[in-house]
Structure 1
Amino acid sequence: MNKIRNITITEYGRIYAGDVIDNVQITKEDINELKLFIDENNEKDKSLSSIEEYLKPIRNGVQANNFVGVLKTKSGLTIEILPKIANGQHDLNDMKKLFIKMLSTFKQINGKAFEMTHLSINDNSLIEIFIAMFLQEVNVIIKRGLKSDYIVLEQNESYLKGKLNIQKQIQLNSFNKTRFHSKFDEFDINIPENQIIKSTLLFLKKESKNGHNQKMINMYLHYFDSVSSIRDVDNTFKKIKKNREYAYYDQSIIWAEIFLKKKSFTSFTGNSLAYALLFPMEKVFESYVAHMIKNHLSNHEVYLQDSRYYLFDDDGSGNKHYRLKPDMIIKNSETKLVTIVDTKWKILNANGPAQSDLYQMYAYNSRYKHYGKDVNKVVLLYPQSNLYNEKVFISKKIGPNNMENLNSKIEVVFINLFNTSWIEKIKNRINE
């Protein structure tokens, strides 16, 4: 049996060849495979975000940047990457719990699947938790019933079934008039969707080390006894049906694509790794904050990723340019006052917000007012920082009689992700 080689780091953590992390020796082969993964993605579509924003090559090692999740090299090293939070009172298990909690709101993940896995976060790695979430989705399929469809079959028997396949009949039975090569349709569960599920179960049977997950995998495989496993992964995925009848397969297919095609929740893939389940942390943070605000703000309308307006209405040729897309527009149903909110997954240092972020917020404020919105304030939401204090940036305009009037107000607000009281704090800020 191969030795289990699992390590856990946080965002911006570095791994060097020769390091010993969690009693695991990091080899040069491990680092080379990670760097090959980086090179593979750097050679792809240049319009995509650079892989080095997420995983960066350094001398004799690599550095994890703005993504979290789990990846495994073909040399057998499993790396868990957890969020980096500016709070020394919390250990890695706390970080893992927080990450799973935030991830449960991510639009591509069915958060209820984790709640029903019954796995302890403390006692299990991220990969086992993700496997359990996939298995929960398979359980949904089994309970509702495996889909069947008409599939084309061929046989060469002593009786004719369906249509005679003339070409094959001439080819195979020219000298044997007692046999018929026939082609026919049959209603069967051996369809691409079920083949994908079975193949994923077989793959995870080799990967999982958790007794409960292993038990579930073996039990579920019995339901797929008459289903073939797949050889051509890409071609089989192209054959899946996407309609209402197959909607309850959607989540399991998403997970299967990650495990079988090594297609992560980022745009990055690669054959140099066994698998990579990577999540852009800025998107996870944005999703979690939006979910909490929508669920706890009564008497407010919350619009996500509002993209109605542009920075420039005309370039001289009648074309608009630079679409605005703030994370949240929060409108008080009674006063009609608007708060614009953008989330930033950055631990601020003593220098505070990036100048570009403040420019962006000022543009939101200016353009939404131009379009007739009664903007009360703009809020930049960051995770808690111990190096910078919350601030309010105010710009004024000179009115009649040299009177100063408020032009814009941009608030830098921190939230303590380990304490949900931040919701009340945001509600109070919005209603001020």
Structure 2
Amino acid sequence: MSTTTITVREYARLTTADCPPSLDAHQVSASAFTWLCELQSRLGKGGAHLLELEGQTWLRLDSLVGVVQTPCGTTLEVLPKTFSDAADVHSSRKLLRKMVAALLDLPSKEASTAALERFDVPLTEWVMAQFVQHLQQLVQQGLRSDYVRLEEELPFLRGQLNTTAQMRQPLTRAHLFHVRHDVFSPDQAANRLLHLALERVRKATAQPETWRLANELSHRLGEIPLSRQPEQDWRAWGTGRLMTGYQAIKPWCELVLGQGMPLALKGDSLGVSLLFPMEKLFESYVTRALRKQMASGFMLHAQSRQYSLAKHDGHPMFQLKPDLVVRDTKGSAVTVLDCKWKRIDQARCDKKYNIPQSDMYQMLAYGCTYLQGKGEMYLVYPRWEQFQAALPAFELPQALRMYVVPFDLNSDKLLLGQSAAFLQAITTAMPN
């Protein structure tokens, strides 16, 4: 089966008709087109939106990014839009890897720029390379073994005799003993999952170095069976002191096996297919960056669930979950931030800067509940060519003031300008 790799970005249009290939439009095979439509039908049942149809021969992607591998051999790489509309694949891939690293909450060393720029490959190849490199380090340190209880029939006594089974032994097998005994073996849940992930990488990777290393490791793990019940083995993955050496590889194994990822695709005999909502990636990235910049005495809390919009029959309904709430030492909310992966145009004042009215309603609800109708709030959008500085404050009902500010994905800073004095005061290393 021939393979085809197509690289596009968010909101690109795909078609079965002839068209000049670009990051915003590309031709796909009829089988890939049909399969993507079927995939949207499955994802739509869970509330996810991958694409929408435009007639019989066109479809438009949504804001999901990552890599999808179709059964017919087409690999569709969907990149985020960066700071301009220029066709910069390298910068888009680099940005996607940075955001995935933040979502996985990887240590700073692993998420460093140098680690992210080792080679310019799609997301899945980067994930598979990271996995085999971590597995190689773990194998060199030594895989953990556990005592495993075995029940078997042996021609000699070993361990404990299973008297119940032995009494039922037919005369023709009286020379054999039913025994129970413990064997010190690497056949344990985490190792079985690692072997399963390794086999998937070995079959899916197109990078020679990744395949070579995966093939070598496959021989090293040969005595460990593949996980036959992954869900059960994930629950049995230990977290104690003896599993400390497995902490670094676990997120990479989860990515390869599609465990707990926002829209990781499982089954269908695919390779490693991963899709992430850009809104979630952006929110996770901003959270990780700002948490490091909080001044002493303030804490950043993600996805707070303290208040609801209404009460009905004595029960709270329509829970309000701002992306970020900053609290002081007493636990009181001092400001609220919400992150939106949308493009704001600061030159379009007549069009309300392209800010959706729903975002304003949402912030008003947060301010009236979390801030008791008094204080500063912040809507955070990504910086790009047409949004380089914070907008003038929006005066909201009661004593609420809201700022719309850009987040620079290069410097990992909010560009607050001179006006948002309160947030300036509670953060460190924030530019003026």
Change (3 A) 1:266 1:78: same
| Match in the other structure for 1:40 | 42
Query: 2:286 is matched with which residue: 282, 286, 289?
Result: 289
Is 1:324 aligned to residue 320 of structure 2? Answer: yes
Is 1:309 aligned to residue 311 of structure 2? Answer: no
- Deviation (angstroms), 1:211: 2.8
For residues 150-189 of structure 1, the aligned pairs below 5 Å read 150-165=147-162, 174-189=171-186
Amino acid at match of 1:28: A
| Match in the other structure for 1:411 | 403
* Superposed CA offset, 1:385-425 (max 9, x none): 5567834321366xxxxxxxxx2211222234245564575
In 1, distance between residues paired with 2:243 and 2:18? 47
2:7/2:79 contact within 8 Å kept: yes
1:113/1:133 contact within 8 Å kept: no
> Structure 1 unaligned runs (5+)?
398-406
- Tell me how large the CA RMSD over aligned residues is: 3.6
Is 1:393 aligned to residue 394 of structure 2? Answer: yes
Query: 1:133 is matched with which residue: 127, 130, 135?
Result: 130
2:364/2:396 contact within 8 Å kept: no
For residues 102-121 of structure 1, the aligned pairs below 5 Å read 102-107=99-104, 109=106, 112-113=109-110, 115=112, 120=117
Is 1:259 aligned to residue 261 of structure 2? Answer: no
In 2, distance between residues paired with 1:117 and 1:64? 31
- Deviation (angstroms), 1:347: 1.5
- Deviation (angstroms), 1:345: 0.7
1:302/1:328 contact within 8 Å kept: no
Could you say what secondary structure the match of 1:68 adopts?
strand
In 1, distance between residues paired with 2:115 and 2:395? 49
Is 1:342 aligned to residue 334 of structure 2? Answer: no
In 1, distance between residues paired with 2:31 and 2:407? 40
Change (3 A) 1:381 1:152: same
In 2, distance between residues paired with 1:230 and 1:337? 46
- Deviation (angstroms), 1:85: 2.9
Change (3 A) 1:279 1:312: closer
Amino acid at match of 1:324: L
In 2, distance between residues paired with 1:278 and 1:134? 18
Which one has more relative contact order, counting CA pairs under 8 Å at least 6 apart?
1
1:71/1:78 contact within 8 Å kept: yes
Is 1:29 aligned to residue 31 of structure 2? Answer: yes
1:154/1:181 contact within 8 Å kept: yes
| Match in the other structure for 2:377 | 378
Percent identity reads 24
Could you say what secondary structure the match of 1:370 adopts?
coil
Query: 2:275 is matched with which residue: 275, 278, 287?
Result: 278
Change (3 A) 1:92 1:227: same
Could you say what secondary structure the match of 2:295 adopts?
coil
Amino acid at match of 1:190: D
- Deviation (angstroms), 1:281: 1.2
The alignment covers a number of residue pairs equal to 409
TM-score by length of 2: 0.80
1:37/1:271 contact within 8 Å kept: no
Is 1:431 aligned to residue 424 of structure 2? Answer: yes
- Deviation (angstroms), 1:165: 4.8
| Match in the other structure for 1:17 | 16
* Superposed CA offset, 1:158-213 (max 9, x none): 21222345676688863143333433221211112212111211221121122332
> Structure 2 unaligned runs (5+)?
426-432
| Match in the other structure for 1:81 | 78
1:37/1:273 contact within 8 Å kept: no
Higher mean alpha-carbon deviation, 21-30 vs 269-278, is at: 21-30
2:263/2:275 contact within 8 Å kept: no
Amino acid at match of 2:41: D
| Match in the other structure for 1:404 | none
In 1, distance between residues paired with 2:182 and 2:232? 21
* Superposed CA offset, 1:77-119 (max 9, x none): 1121111235135611111112222322224555644549957
In 2, distance between residues paired with 1:307 and 1:420? 23
1:117/1:136 contact within 8 Å kept: no
In 2, distance between residues paired with 1:209 and 1:223? 21
1:86/1:347 contact within 8 Å kept: no
Amino acid at match of 1:384: R
TM-score by length of 1: 0.80
1:72/1:273 contact within 8 Å kept: no
